[in-house]
Amino acid sequence: MLSVIFILPVPIDKSISVNFTIIIALGMYMKEIILGKCGEMALKGLNRTDFESILLKNLRHRLSSCGKFDVSISQSTIYIRPIDETADIDAAFDTALKAFGLSAVSRAAAFDKDMDAIFAGAPEYLEKYLNSARTFKVEAKRADKSFPLKSPEICRELGGKLLESFPHLKVDVNRPDIIVTVEIREREAYVRAGQHKGAGGLPTGTSGRATVLISGGIDSPVAAWMMARRGLKLSAVHFASPPYTSKRAEKKVMQLLETVAEYSGPITVYVVPFTKIQEEIRDKVDEPFSTLVMRRLMMRTASIIAKKEHALALVTGESLGQVASQTLRALSCTDDAASLTVFRPLIGMDKEEIITIARNIGTFETSIQPFEDCCTVFTPRHPKTRPQLDELVAQEQRLDIEALVAEAAENAEEHLVE
C-alpha cells in the first residue's frame, strides 16, 4: 500500500511547533509508461544516432497532442513517460503504435529495482490481463548485470508470487495465454504482459522526400503508406477536374491522406486543376492514346510540384498489368515524361494483397466511397496497351504541353493534412 505523508504543524506553545504524521492508505501506486522497441534501425552503423534523433523528434511532435510526456531512448528502447495529469496514456499508446520506426510497443509498470517492490505492485498491475487467462509464463531480461538475482531466479520468484495471487493460473512455458516480461534496466524495473506489433519500417524523414500522386482509389493511399514506412517524408498531388469531379471526391482524398498522416506525420497536398488539360486531350488526341497522354502530363505536372517540395522521387499506386495503362510498355512510356525517379511499391502485388493492407491501415472503407476521380473521366473505349513512345510524342505535339502543365502547376491549391 502507498503511504501518503502529510506534515502538519501543530503548535504546542507560541514558540514551538511539532510535526504530526498522518498516513492515509490510497491503494498501490505504480507508474505506467510506454516502451517501444526499435526495429531495423538497431542494425544501422555509425549513422544510427541520426535515425534515433529523428524518431525521437517525430514522437515528441506527435505526442504533444496527447499531453506532456518525456521521450527518451536507451539501448534501442524508447521510453515514453507521462509527466503530469495532462498526459493521456491511452492516446499516446495508440500514437506510438502508428509511429514508423517502432517494431513493437507495450505498456508497462515501472518499479524500483527491488524484488519486494515488484512483488507488491506486479499482481495488481497484471490483474486485468491474468484474470482472463488460464496459463502464463514469466520471462526476464536483466540488462543491469549488477541486479542480485539472475534471470531464471527472477522468473521463478515472480512466477511463484503470481501463482499465489491468481490460484486459477497454471504455468505453461510452451504455449501460454499470457507472457509476463520483467526487464531490469538501468533506471528501473519494468513489468508488462505481452506487447503489440508496431508499424515498423524507418522513421519518417530518414530517407528523404517524395511526392505521391494520390487518387481516391484503393491503391495510391497504400503506396503512400508503404513509402512513408521506408522513411520518406511525403507531399501529395491530387488532380481534380470539376465539374466532372466533385468536392466530395476531393474531401475523400483528404480523408485518405489524414489516415496515412496518422502514420507518416503531416502531408502537404496540392490539388491541381486538371479540367482544361483533360478537355484538350479529349478534343485533340486520338481516343486510344488519351489515358497515356493524360498520365504523361500528370507526371510532368507532379514533377514540377515535387521539385518545389525538394522531393527526389514520385510515388504512384500502379501495379503491373492491373489496367491498360499499367502494362510494361505503357509504364515505360509514362516514366519517360517524369523528370524524377518513380517509385511503384505495389508493382508486383495483386489486388487482394493491396486490399488487405488498405484494410489494415484503415483506408479501405474510405477508398470505396463512390465518388469519381479524374482518372475515370473520358475513359477510352479501347485504350492502347502496347504503345510506342514515338506515337505518344506525335499525339502530344497536338497540344501546347509546356503551357498547359505550367498553368496547372501554378494554379494548384496547397493544403496541409495532419
**pLDDT reported for residue 30:** 63
Question: DSSP string covering 149-217, please?
Answer: S-HHHHHHHHHHHHHHH-TT-EE-SSS-SEEEEEEE-SS-EEEEE--EE---SB-TTSS-EEEEE--SS
pLDDT tens column, 111-163: 999 999 999 999 999 999 999 999 999 999 999 999 999 999 999 999 999 99
**pLDDT reported for residue 41:** 81
Per-residue pLDDT band at 379 (split at 50, 70, 90): confident
Region of 286 please: left (phi>0), alpha (psi -120 to 50) or beta: beta
pLDDT tens column, 65-103: 999 999 999 888 999 999 988 899 999 999 999 999 999
| 314 phi, psi to nearest 5 deg | -105, 150
pLDDT tens column, 310-357: 999 999 999 998 888 889 999 999 999 999 999 999 999 999 999 999
Please tell me what DSSP assigns to residue 328.
H
Q: Check if the beta carbon of residue 341 is closer than 8 Å to that of residue 314.
A: yes
pTM for the full predicted model: 0.87
Cβ neighbours of residue 213 under 8 Å, at least 6 residues apart? Answer: 220, 236, 237, 238, 239, 298, 302, 314, 315, 316, 317
Instruction: Tell me the mean pLDDT in the region 231-250.
Output: 94
